[in-house]
């Protein structure tokens, strides 16, 4: 098992009441695969925190634990009773349902919408589509929409759950640069208007700086917090601005150091021609 690096307690929330708190959280798969190692992290209410790290560092595992889709091996996770919604890289819409019906399905399982009529759910779905700038598309099927539009529907479906905390696992990673930039604007607007708490996983350093109040960097497996960067640049930001590029460059250098630190021992320990085992998470 890889030896853990020195733990950094990430609890900078600038006076915000915590919405999500992880205290010394570890996750082990099987008997030997340590995915997360004593992660301590606090996210304040209304904060937008971006998680960065190399592939396999446990970013998605961390989101799954916060969402309650998996259980930590050790440590504790406190979400203060918040309602949590999760958005993935793929929209995962039901292709046989209309856009509106996909959102209405989420409304049917939301406690605040239980007991509402179909007419009321349809009206609420229309409101949510307006929020993500897709008014008039409720009768369309997912295959009739572009990738960016499908992600907007997925965002509307997440918002349908009346969430306080929105977990986002590389939601824009498969989109082209222009579409991604437009969705950054939409997400930031909705985050502000609804005063959401957002925990956002990405591989894109500039995206993290563009969106986040903070950028939290995880080590290579086993994942633990090694850096916590406050982003104090004024909003709105642009991914191609000099200020964003400068901060992103410094974070990229630190990420590169971490990747190289992890890669060197692995190369030394692996015989020529051998293939290392272990699932990426």
In a domain, 277, yes or no: no
Residue 198, pLDDT score: 98
Can you tell me the distance from the alpha carbon of 269 to that of 83, in angstroms, rounded to the nearest whole number?
45
Residue 276, pLDDT score: 35
Give the model confidence (pLDDT) of 29-61 as tens digits: 988 899 999 999 999 999 999 999 988 889 999
| pLDDT band (50, 70, 90) for residue 279 | very low
The CA angle 149-155-159, to the nearest 5 degrees, is: 145
Residue 116, pLDDT score: 77
Pick the more confident residue, 222 or 274: 222
Instruction: Please tell me whether residues 74 and 102 are part of one structural domain.
Output: no
The number of distinct structural domains making up the chain is: 2
Among 137, 162, 187, the domain boundary falls at: 162
In a domain, 280, yes or no: no
Q: What CATH number does the domain containing 62 carry?
A: 3.40.50.300
Instruction: Please tell me whether residues 113 and 168 are part of one structural domain.
Output: no
Q: Is 136 left (phi over 0), alpha (psi -120 to 50) or beta?
A: left
In a domain, 275, yes or no: no
In a domain, 168, yes or no: yes
Question: Does the structure show a pLDDT above 50 at 277?
Answer: no
Mean pLDDT of the region 216-221: 92
Lowest-confidence region among 66-70, 88-92, 135-139: 88-92
Give the model confidence (pLDDT) of 89-110 as tens digits: 889 999 999 999 999 998 887 6
Pick the more confident residue, 56 or 209: 209
Instruction: Please tell me whether residues 75 and 212 are part of one structural domain.
Output: yes
Count of CB atoms situated within 10 Å of the CB of 90: 15
Lowest-confidence region among 132-141, 208-217, 257-266: 257-266
| Domain span including residue 142 | 93-162
Question: Does the structure show a pLDDT above 50 at 1?
Answer: no
In a domain, 42, yes or no: yes
Instruction: Please tell me whether residues 57 and 119 are part of one structural domain.
Output: no
Count of CB atoms situated within 10 Å of the CB of 11: 16
In a domain, 115, yes or no: yes
In a domain, 30, yes or no: yes
Among 114, 134, 162, the domain boundary falls at: 162
Instruction: Please tell me whether residues 153 and 173 are part of one structural domain.
Output: no
Instruction: Please tell me whether residues 169 and 202 are part of one structural domain.
Output: yes
Among 162, 179, 199, the domain boundary falls at: 162
| Contact criterion met (CB below 8 Å) for 78 and 44 | no
Please state the pTM of the whole predicted model.
0.85
Can you tell me the distance from the alpha carbon of 203 to that of 76, in angstroms, rounded to the nearest whole number?
26
Instruction: Please tell me whether residues 46 and 177 are part of one structural domain.
Output: yes
| Contact criterion met (CB below 8 Å) for 145 and 132 | no
Residues 6+ apart with CB under 8 A from 136: none
Instruction: Please tell me whether residues 109 and 130 are part of one structural domain.
Output: yes
Residue 213, pLDDT score: 98
Pick the more confident residue, 167 or 80: 167
């Amino acid at each position: 098992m890889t030896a853990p690096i020195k733990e950094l307690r990430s609890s900078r929330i600038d006076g915000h009441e915590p919405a999500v708190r992880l205290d010394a959280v570890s996750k082990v798969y099987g008997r030997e695969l340590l995915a997360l190692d004593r992660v301590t992290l606090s996210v304040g209410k209304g904060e937008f925190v971006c998680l960065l790290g190399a592939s396999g560092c446990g970013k998605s595992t961390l989101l799954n634990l916060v969402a309650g889709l998996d259980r930590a091996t050790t440590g504790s996770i406190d979400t203060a009773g918040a309602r949590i919604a999760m958005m993935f890289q793929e929209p995962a819409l039901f292709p046989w349902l209309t856009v509106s019906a996909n959102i209405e399905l989420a409304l049917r399982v939301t406690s605040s919408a239980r007991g509402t009529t179909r007419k009321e759910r349809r009206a609420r779905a229309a409101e949510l589509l307006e929020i993500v700038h897709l008014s008039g598309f409720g009768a369309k099927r997912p295959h009739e929409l572009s990738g960016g539009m499908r992600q907007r529907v997925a965002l509307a479906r997440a918002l349908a759950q009346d969430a306080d905390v929105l977990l986002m696992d590389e939601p824009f990673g498969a989109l082209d640069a222009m579409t991604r930039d437009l969705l950054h604007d939409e997400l930031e607007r909705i985050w502000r208007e609804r005063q959401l708490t957002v925990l956002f996983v990405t591989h894109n350093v500039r995206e993290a700086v563009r969106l986040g109040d903070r950028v939290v960097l995880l080590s290579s497996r086993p994942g633990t917090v090694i850096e916590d960067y406050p982003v104090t640049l004024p909003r709105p930001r642009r991914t191609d601005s000099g200020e964003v590029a400068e901060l992103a460059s410094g974070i990229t250098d630190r990420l590169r150091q971490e990747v190289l630190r992890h890669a060197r021992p692995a190369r030394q320990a692996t015989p020529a021609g051998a293939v290392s085992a272990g699932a990426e998470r």
